[in-house]
């Protein structure tokens, strides 16, 4: 017990000294920054409702570096890093940390163009690799020099910007960094490298001291000065303490510990890139179109909106996410023999969370981009679309036919040897492909295809399959499953090729349903019932799908006088019953308008209209009629 207490003294001293000094310095820095005019005033994008001084990271930098510098000088040899690295690495870290903090402080004080700030970050990251001699070469000794430099710079700049972007709620960046630091320190203890965790404790003490003033309601903000210092330190420490052949400790746990900021940065890049492309295609879109432009759709903004603008709740949700990721990483260190299974499980959970979160905004924006390109009047965009459509189908068809061949071989337990790859595979694929060309399937507009077009596609697959089997029968690739392949290969080929051709409509419906889910959460949306569920309804719904990104109304139900259809669904839309049940249907769906999408006589139309308007609902009619065009003489002159 005594030995344990003696061993813990350096860690406790490092933590407490940094904590106390930061607690003392924050009020002093706050007064200084107020005098310098470094105040974040409320605006449309900021969350604070009162002016709050920024640049508080200056106190964090001073508290951590000063306390640990004294600690190193007093105890002489207290390594920041693994045993085989020089202790002078701490002084190099201190210089680089001051440099990144200075860049952030200048931005807080005077403002700095994003590209200039990014250049400064790259220079500091490059010096970390060259001057401090830190990179991934200790983890992967065989990594090429240029690749090591690139990956190291990317790692550091990415972490710096990740914490810079996530710093949008009171106490969020400092709290997440505190959790990440303890997680990385825990990984070092579990890997029997506790001495390398000393500085982690000093850094954690400074973060906790600053969090005392930064937690909601915050009296001071980190600013770029603090958030960039945090990101740099979180990225620097794993590089300094990494050991050979220890990927999980050196990179896995740190990456998971930074999971929330990294995920938020990834989403920001995807989202802003998509919106930049949308604005280039559609001049009516608002915004300046710059990829580096700030927005209010970061992860913390989304969670904040979902919890009723309660900053503490939003911060704690993100804290718990970070704790989960850290514990997951540490469990991988403990159960190393099962690490692969744990990481696979974590990957599946991460994919589910990412898709769920991205579906709200990023996937919706991707749909807007596809829709904008598809509907663009720009001749170059439309020419590009035409040029890419047919080659896309050709390349995709060939890849699908190859994939179907291997699926059939696997299902029928056929040994795919050299002869099958050199003779059997090409014959099968080429014979079907030639049939597709011969029967003119590539001249079909598949977005408007009819059953006869799919019948032609099936015929092409059958002819190609039979011709291919006949050719293989007289070739060296003959096998005894040729009859089964003659049936299975054309059948699966038709299914795969049909799904590919239906994918556009399926994607269009997917984005429309995504848009409906988004509109349902919005208060400013019209909920409409459609009277009639036949072909006119389908045409009306197609019009809504075509303009999905600009809709302000959604279909919540169908009305049809055919009683046999009651309770059934068309797509995701339920047929609630006949017009006589209008009151009950409106109560269930909370509808505020009705669109008539069926052929009615003038007399019946007036009765239906009066009945709908009597319930206080808006009523409109969707037309689908052929009209004779007759122009007057004056109209012809115009």
pLDDT per position as a tens digit, 575-592:
999 888 988 998 888 888
According to the model, what pLDDT value does residue 65 have?
94
What whole-number distance in Å separates Cα of residue 496 and Cα of residue 432?
Answer: 13
Question: What is the structure's pLDDT at 19?
Answer: 96
The answer to whether the CB of 457 falls within 8 A of the CB of 498 is: yes
Residue-wise pLDDT for 416-463, tens only, equals: 777 777 778 888 898 998 898 888 887 777 767 788 889 999 999 999
User: What six digits make up the tokens of 178?
Assistant: 């505190």
3-state secondary structure 428-474: HHHHHHHHHHHCCHHHCCHHHCCHHHHHHHHHHHHHHHHHHHHHHHC
Secondary element (H or E) of residue 575 = strand 573-577
User: Of 395, 62, 82, 25, which is closest to residue 229 (Cα–Cα)?
Assistant: 62
Residue with more model confidence, 119 or 363? 119
- Residue 551 reports pLDDT greater than 80: no
The answer on pLDDT for 366 being more than 60 is no
The confidence score (pLDDT) of residue 285 equals: 52
Mean pLDDT of the region 490-498: 93
Among 35-44, 197-206, 256-265, name the most confident range: 197-206
pLDDT tens-digit map of 343-355: 555 555 655 555 5
Tokens representing 312 are 């503490």
- Cα 263 to Cα 243: distance, rounded to the nearest angstrom: 26
The CB-based long-range contact list for 414-420 (8 Å cut-off, 24+ gap) reads 414/479, 414/481, 414/485, 419/476, 419/477, 420/477, 420/479
- Reading the block at residue 124, the tokens are 């500091």
Residue 82: what pLDDT?
A: 46
CA angle (467 as vertex; 462, 473 as ends), nearest 5: 125
Question: 510 falls in which pLDDT band (50, 70, 90)?
Answer: low
**Strand order in 573-577's β-sheet?**
569-570, 573-577, 553-559, 526-531, 593-596, 618-621
Across the chain, how many H-helices and E-strands are there? 24, 8
pLDDT number for residue 310: 82
Give the residue extent of every domain in the chain: 2-367, 379-508, 522-621
Instruction: Calculate the CA 417 to chain-centre distance.
Output: 41
d(CA 571, CA 12): 63
Q: Report the pLDDT value the prediction gives residue 182, as an integer from 0 to 100.
A: 93
Lowest mean pLDDT among 121-135, 196-210, 279-293, 527-541: 279-293
CA angle 271, 275, 280 (to 5 degrees): 150
Nearest Cα residue to 165 out of 318, 332, 344: 318
What is the predicted pLDDT for the residue at 420? 79
Give me the sign of the Cα torsion angle 94, 98, 99, 104: positive
3-state class (DSSP) for residue 93: helix
Averaged over 159-164, what is the pLDDT? 92
Does position 243 have pLDDT exceeding 90, yes or no? no
Of 21-25, 129-133, 301-305, the range with the highest mean pLDDT is 21-25
pTM score, two decimals?
Answer: 0.64
Residue 359 has pLDDT above 60, yes or no: no
- 59 against 626, higher pLDDT: 59
pLDDT higher than 70, residue 275: no
Instruction: Give the per-residue pLDDT at 29.
Output: 94
pLDDT on residue 290: 56
Q: Assess whether pLDDT exceeds 90 at residue 209.
A: yes
Q: What pairing do the DSSP bridges indicate for beta strands 569-570 and 593-596? A: unpaired
82 touches 240 (CB < 8 A): yes
- Nearest-angstrom CA–CA distance, 288 and 281: 13
**Highest averaged pLDDT of the listed ranges 38-52, 237-251, 478-492:** 478-492
For residue 288, what are its two tokens?
A: 């300046």
Q: What is the pLDDT of residues 91-128, one digit of tens each?
A: 899 999 999 999 999 999 988 888 899 999 999 999 99
DSSP at 218: P
Tell me, what's the pLDDT at 501? 84
Listed in sequence order, the residues at least 6 apart from 504 whose beta carbon sits closer than 8 Å to its beta carbon are 446, 447
Mean pLDDT of the chain: 80
**What pLDDT does residue 308 have?**
73
Q: Is the pLDDT of residue 218 over 70?
A: yes
**CA dihedral for 386, 390, 393, 399, sign (positive or negative):** negative
Strands (E) in 484-534, as ranges, are 526-531
pLDDT over 80 (residue 409): yes
- Average confidence (pLDDT) over 313-320: 89
389 vs 6: which has the higher pLDDT? 6
CA distance 61 to 55: 11
Which of 103-107, 252-256, 550-554 is predicted least confidently? 550-554
What is the DSSP pairing of strand 526-531 with strand 593-596? parallel
* 267 band by pLDDT with thresholds 50, 70 and 90: confident
Mean local confidence (pLDDT), 359-375: 52
How does residue 84 score in pLDDT terms, banded at 50, 70 and 90? very low
> If you average pLDDT over residues 77-103, what whole number do you get?
75
Closest CA to 405 of 462, 465, 459: 465
Does pLDDT of 372 surpass 60?
no
* Residue pair 436/398 in contact by the 8 Å Cβ criterion: no
pLDDT, position 479: 63
Strand pairing report for 526-531 and 52-53: unpaired
- In this predicted structure, what is the pLDDT of residue 85? 45
pLDDT at res. 66:
94
- CATH for 522-621 is 3.40.50.720
Instruction: Between 327 and 284, name the one with better pLDDT.
Output: 327
**Which of 144-168 are b and which e, b meaning 16 or more Cβ less than 10 Å from the residue's Cβ?**
eeeebbebbbebbbbbbbbbbbbbb
Mean per-residue pLDDT, 196-207: 92
DSSP readout, 413-432?
Answer: T----HHIIIIIHHHHHHHH
Q: Report percent pLDDT > 90 for the chain.
A: 27
């Amino acid at each position: 017990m005594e030995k344990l207490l003696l061993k813990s003294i350096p860690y406790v001293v490092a933590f407490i000294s940094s904590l106390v000094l930061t607690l003392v310095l924050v009020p002093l820095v706050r007064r200084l920054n107020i005098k310098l005019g470094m105040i974040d005033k409320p605006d449309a994008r900021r969350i604070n409702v009162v002016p709050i001084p920024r640049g508080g990271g200056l106190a964090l930098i001073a508290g951590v570096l000063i306390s640990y510098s004294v600690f190193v000088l007093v105890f002489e040899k207290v390594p920041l890093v693994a045993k085989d690295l020089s202790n002078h690495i701490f002084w190099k870290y201190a210089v680089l940390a001051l440099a990144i903090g200075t860049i952030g402080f200048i931005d807080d004080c005077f403002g700095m163009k994003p590209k200039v700030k990014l250049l400064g970050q790259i220079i500091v990251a490059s010096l970390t690799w060259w001057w401090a001699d830190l990179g991934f070469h200790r983890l992967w000794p065989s990594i090429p020099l240029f690749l090591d430099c690139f990956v190291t710079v990317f790692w550091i700049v990415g972490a710096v910007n990740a914490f810079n972007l996530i710093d949008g709620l009171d106490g969020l960046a400092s709290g997440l960094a505190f959790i990440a630091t303890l997680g990385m320190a825990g990984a070092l203890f579990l890997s029997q490298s506790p001495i390398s965790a000393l500085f982690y404790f000093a850094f954690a003490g400074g973060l906790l001291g600053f969090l005392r003033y930064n937690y909601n309601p915050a009296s001071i903000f980190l600013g770029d000065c603090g958030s960039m210092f945090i990101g740099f330190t979180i990225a620097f420490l794993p590089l300094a303490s990494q050991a050979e052949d220890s990927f999980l400790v050196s990179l896995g746990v740190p990456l998971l510990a930074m999971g929330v900021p990294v995920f938020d940065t990834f989403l920001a890049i995807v989202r802003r890139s998509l919106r930049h492309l949308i604005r280039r295609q559609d001049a009516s879109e608002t915004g300046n179109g710059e990829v580096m432009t700030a927005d209010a759709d970061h992860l913390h903004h989304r969670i904040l909106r979902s919890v009723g603008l309660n900053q503490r709740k939003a911060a704690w949700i993100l804290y718990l996410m970070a704790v989960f990721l850290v514990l997951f990483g540490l469990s991988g260190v403990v159960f190393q023999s099962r690490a692969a299974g744990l990481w696979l499980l974590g990957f599946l959970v991460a994919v589910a969370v990412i898709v769920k979160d991205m579906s709200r905004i990023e996937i919706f924006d991707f749909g807007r981009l596809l829709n904008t390109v598809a509907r663009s009047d720009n001749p170059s965009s439309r020419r590009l679309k035409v040029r890419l459509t047919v080659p896309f189908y050709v390349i995709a068809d060939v890849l699908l036919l190859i994939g179907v061949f291997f699926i059939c071989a696997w299902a029928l337990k056929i040994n795919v040897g050299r002869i099958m790859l050199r003779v059997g595979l090409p014959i099968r694929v080429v014979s079907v492909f030639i049939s597709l060309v011969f029967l003119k399937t590539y001249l079909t507009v598949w977005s408007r295809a009819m059953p006869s077009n799919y019948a032609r596609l099936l015929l092409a697959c059958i002819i190609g399959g039979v011709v291919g089997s006949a050719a293989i029968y007289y070739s060296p690739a003959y096998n005894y499953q040729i009859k089964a392949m003659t049936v299975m290969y054309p059948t699966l080929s038709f299914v795969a090729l049909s799904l590919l051709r239906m994918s556009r409509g399926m994607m269009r419906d997917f984005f429309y349903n995504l848009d409906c889910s988004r509109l349902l959460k919005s208060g400013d949306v019209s909920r409409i019932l459609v009277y009639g569920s036949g072909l006119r309804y389908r045409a009306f719904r197609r019009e809504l799908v075509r303009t999905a990104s600009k809709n302000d109304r959604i279909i919540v139900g169908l009305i049809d006088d055919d009683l046999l259809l009651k309770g059934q669904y068309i797509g995701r839309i339920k047929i609630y019953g006949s017009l006589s049940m209008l009151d009950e249907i409106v109560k269930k769906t909370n509808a505020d308008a009705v669109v008539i999408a069926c052929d009615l006589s003038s007399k019946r139309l007036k009765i239906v209209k009066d009945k709908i308007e009597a319930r206080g609902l808006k009523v409109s009619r969707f037309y689908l009629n052929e009209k004779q065009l007759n122009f007057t003489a004056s109209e012809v002159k115009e």
